[in-house]
A and B are shown apart, each in its own frame.
Chain A
Amino acid sequence: MDTRDPALNLRSSASRSWRREDVLALAPAAVLLAALFLGALAGAVKVSLVPLGGGIGDASLASWRQLFADPSFRDGLVLTLEVTIASTAIAAALGVALALALRRSAGAVRAVAAAPVPVPHLLVAVIAVVWLGPGGLADRILGSLPFDLIGNRNGAGIVAVYVYKEAPFIALLVLAAMGRSLEQREEAAAVFGAGGLKRAAWVLWPTIRGPVVVGSIIVAAFAIGALEVPLAVGPNYPPTLAVYAFQTTQGDLISGEGRAAAALLLAGFLAIVLASVGVRHARSADNE
């Protein structure tokens, strides 16, 4: 037995600190992400502060002030948050339900359930319009639809498309975490007399909570910042944050790009806030 073998030290509490191997293992990914993404992010911040042709000295919060003064933006912020929360909650709930229904199904069935995942949001939005839009296929087949999703002022169309696309995504994440070991643990719990609900709370949920939280954060972040879906199926007014950014640069990019970058940076910031709240909640649950 080689006591220098790192594998043997994995769970030793004495080594719960950063070792050289850890840094080296993380370095390539971290350096790449930092070098590429942080620079781009800094560029976007600069766009929101410095007009074209100006230098550092011309930096100002003018774009940000204009942004917050614009009622379209404020209304759009509210709509964005509403749509995000609704989509995430519904997608998570349906995703878990789908995963539970499919946990013992064959790969072919899972593939069917996973069909929307590789389809980019843009295509899903386009297909939604083809089916559900005015004069669309649903109209032609059924005569006319009783409800109006596309262009719905409350963003129902946006929520529908997000849920359609993201529930299977969350289901996939959850399914990946549910393996044979979970089945064995559930059986063990059943043997010890735990009922269905108890098994769900004490065995199932802790296993799938991770993927559900991560999946929800990804879905929420995407919903806050996405452009193509609300552009295709969202209301004219108010515009979601990304649509606002797009419309601000329509026609004339240069005068609008400051506000557009600011709106998108704000969307990103909100996503970070939501993510930290989600993670902290999950962590505290972990420690109970």
Chain B
Amino acid sequence: MSERRTRLLVGVLAALFIAPLMVLLVQAFADSWRAPGVLPDQLGWRGFEVAFGSARAGDALVNSLLVAFAATAISLVLGWPAARVLGMRRLPRNGFVFLLIGLPLLMPPYLAGFGLTEWFIRLGIDDSLAGIVLAHVTFALPYAILILLSGFNREVEALEEMAATTGAGPARRLAWVTLPALRPTLIAAALLSFLVSWSQYGTSLAVGAGRPTLPIVMLPFIQTDPEVAAALALVFLAPCIVALAFVARLQRTPL
């Protein structure tokens, strides 16, 4: 695509995707922003003072990070072998497995409030960060499997076979063939699992018995206190942007 067209496209994308988010940046510092003002009447720190004060954004941030990293790690570790089998071995009658994996993706997220709590209480894993992690894994794992699935294709199979014919054992094949071949897919799966866990609201509330996570502390302020909500939204988005930038660096060259 020509230089000019690329630049035009980037401009349009930036205007469409980045600019609207900028309003959060402005609103977080807007102590007063009434119509018909296009810019705030008064700037200040109230949003962040409340966010990190009574809204406990600090605690929520720590909880959300711990849970997201744990959920991502578990989803990748459990999802990798499952995706490998489903992706490379064309097994008969695997519809049931796919249904099981797809179920958490297909059911409405809001449904979590109506059955998850009771079940996790019965299992004894509610009211704890570990419980929240498991609840998030329930929803992140399917995403991880689906993404990893697309990476385990015939080419990887062929590469592994070639490596096997030259005498490389399973561990060597994994480290030198499979992992590098699946690197972009693995990164994408990790990113998506992280994001899925990061934005969970209903499950965290259902299982965590009120433990603060960023979505949980943010929601009450949406609509009722736009400045505080925007400040919390920025705290919420910052790690996402970092993760996205990190991934963009890792995947610098198009394949």
Contacts and interface: CB of A to CB of B under 8 A. Distances in A.
Let me know if chains A and B touch directly in the complex, using CB atoms closer than 8 Å.
yes
Interface string A72-98: 000000000000000000000000000
B22 to A, nearest CB: 10
B252 interface: yes
Contacts of B123: 35, 39
A251 to B, nearest CB: 16
A271 interface: yes
B107 A41 contact: yes
B248 A107 contact: yes
Contact of B18 (A105, A115, A181): A115
Contacts of A120: 199, 201, 215, 236
Contact of A112 (B13, B82, B116, B120): B13
Contacts of A112: 10, 13-14, 17-18
Nearest to A168: B17
Interface residues of A, number: 101
Interface in A94-118: 101-118
Contacts of A224: 108
A275 interface: yes
Interface string B224-253: 001001000100110011011101110111
Interface string A10-41: 11000011100110111011101111111111
Task: Tell me the interface secondary structure of chain B in the complex.
Answer: helix
Nearest to A109: B10
Interface stretch (A130-138, A150-158, A190-198): A130-138
B27 A261 contact: no
B43 interface: no
Contacts of A127: 20-21, 23-24
B248 A111 contact: yes
B171 interface: no
A41 B115 contact: yes
Contacts of A10: 88-89, 157, 160-161
18 contacts: A5-B164, A7-B161, A7-B163, A22-B91, A24-B81, A29-B79, A34-B100, A42-B115, A102-B9, A113-B13, A117-B195, A119-B240, A122-B222, A123-B233, A178-B255, A181-B155, A265-B111, A268-B106
Interface of B: 1, 6, 9-10, 13-14, 16-18, 20-21, 23-24, 27, 35-38, 78-79, 81-82, 84-86, 88-92, 97-112, 114-120, 122-123, 134-135, 137-138, 141-142, 145-147, 150, 155, 157, 160-161, 163-165, 170, 173, 184-185, 188, 195, 198-199, 201, 215, 219, 222-223, 226, 229, 233, 236-237, 240-241, 243-245, 247-249, 251-255
